[in-house]
Amino acid sequence: MSSWVKGTLVEALESTTQQAKARHDLVNAAYRSQMDSNSHLGKGR
């Protein structure tokens, strides 16, 4: 994915989460599959 597309995606996510008064965290793709099978929440720090 080009850096331009990544930047556009990040801006869209930031805008959407601000409008929804929500929070988003950028997570390294190597860790995105580490989910708790019971709660379906991400494991980690």
Between CA 17 and CA 27, with CA 40 as vertex, the angle to 5 degrees is: 50
Q: Percent of the chain scored above 70 by pLDDT?
A: 76
Residue 18, H or E segment: helix 3-19
Give the chain's domain count: 1
Tell me how long the chain is. Answer: 45
Look up the domain containing 3 and give its range: 1-45
Query: Do 41 and 35 touch, CB atoms closer than 8 A?
Result: yes
Q: What band does 10 get if pLDDT is binned at 50, 70 and 90? A: confident
pLDDT one-digit tens code per residue, 20-37: 999 888 777 776 666 776
Longest dimension (CA), the chain: 36
- The model's pTM: 0.51
Q: Report the chain's C-alpha Rg in angstroms.
A: 13
